[in-house]
Amino acid sequence: MGTRKDRDVEKGYTTGQMVAKLRRLADCLESGKQFRIQIAGERVNIPSAAVFNIEHEREGDSEEVEFQFKWKR
């Protein structure tokens, strides 16, 4: 089995696309199923046992909120 390279990408979505993804995510969380998503061409399976957190960053006149999902492969 090949090794995976480190990766850090950001993908933008329209409001409608983001709403659909958040609805699917909520359904998976409520039912205890893994969440599957494709980000910039790579399929990612987020296990139901992932740790979820929300991060807020502020720098100068910019602010950012990130919804994060962390797990071990």
Q: What's the one-letter identity of residue 33?
A: K
Does residue 56 belong to any structural domain of this protein?
A: yes
In a domain, residue 29? The reply is yes
Question: Could you tell me which residues come within 8 angstroms of residue 43 by beta carbon, excluding any fewer than 6 positions away?
Answer: 36, 37
Q: How many domains does the chain have?
A: 1
- Please report the pLDDT score of residue 40 as a whole number: 85
pLDDT band for position 54 (50/70/90)?
A: very high
Asked whether residue 6 is assigned to any structural domain, the reply reads no
- Domain of residue 65, residue span: 15-70
- Provide the token pair at 42: 């790579």
CB-based contact 54:69 (threshold 8 Å): no
The answer as to whether 41 is a domain residue is yes
Mean pLDDT of all residues in 30-53: 93
pLDDT for 10 beyond 60: yes
Strands 51-59 and 42-46: unpaired
Q: In this structure, are residues 68 and 54 in contact, taking their beta carbons and an 8 Å threshold?
A: yes
Per-residue confidence band for 19, with pLDDT thresholds at 50, 70 and 90? very high
pLDDT at residue 4 greater than cutoff 70: no
Query: Would you say residue 53 lies in a domain?
Result: yes
Q: Is residue 19 part of a domain?
A: yes
